[in-house]
Amino acid sequence: MSDRVNPLVIEQLDALLHGETNLVANLANASALLKQTLTDVNWAGFYLYQPETDDLILGPFQGNVACVHIENGSGVCGTGLATQTTQLVPDVHAFAGHIACDSASNSEIVVPLTLSDGTKLGVLDIDSPSKGRFTTDDQAVLEDFARVLLKHVDKA
């Protein structure tokens, strides 16, 4: 079976979140959907931006227990937040400052999440035990996934 992220996951997310505006419930179900539909993934979840402390705090996720606080600009997640660009990391051990929460992780993708009014929500983080797990095609699908997620959060 191909490891390519199936674009159908975006429609599944849209249906799953339809009519629900609770942020925690929607992020919890979004992380579960990713973990149960993506192959070769050991962690999928969210870090949420805290403007008071200018850092990220662990949000809903599926996978092993993880680091709770990540500073803005630190690690892959903090870099995604600081630069507001997707971080596609084929080998986390080659990424300076990578934060090793789960020693099984070897590649990672982080997509920043920002509401339509410019408010930073946080980041989506997905880890794989395989190097080079995520392609630029996967990146495009996961960025669309993030857009659909944000559409539902924007309605809340």
Q: Which residues sit at the interface with ligand SME, rule CB under 6 A?
A: 43, 66-67, 70, 75-78, 98-99, 101, 105, 108, 125, 127
Contact of 136 with 100, CB cutoff 8 Å: no
Q: Residue 130 and residue 4: Cα distance in Å, rounded? A: 13
Distances (CA, A) of 80 to 70, 104, 120: 11, 21, 11
Q: Which is nearer to ligand SME, 60 or 78 (CB)?
A: 78
Kindly state the smallest distance separating residue 48's Cβ from ligand SME, in Å: 13
Shortest distance in whole angstroms from residue 15 CB to ligand SME: 27
Q: Which is nearer to ligand SME, 6 or 62 (CB)?
A: 62
In the bound state with ligand SME, the residue whose beta carbon lies nearer, of 13 and 77, is: 77
Tokens at 33, concatenated = 């959907």
Cβ proximity of 129 and 3 under 8 Å: no
- Cβ 82 to ligand SME, closest distance in Å? 11
> What's the residue count for the chain?
156
Provide the minimum distance between the beta carbon of 103 and ligand SME in the complex, in angstroms, as a whole number: 11
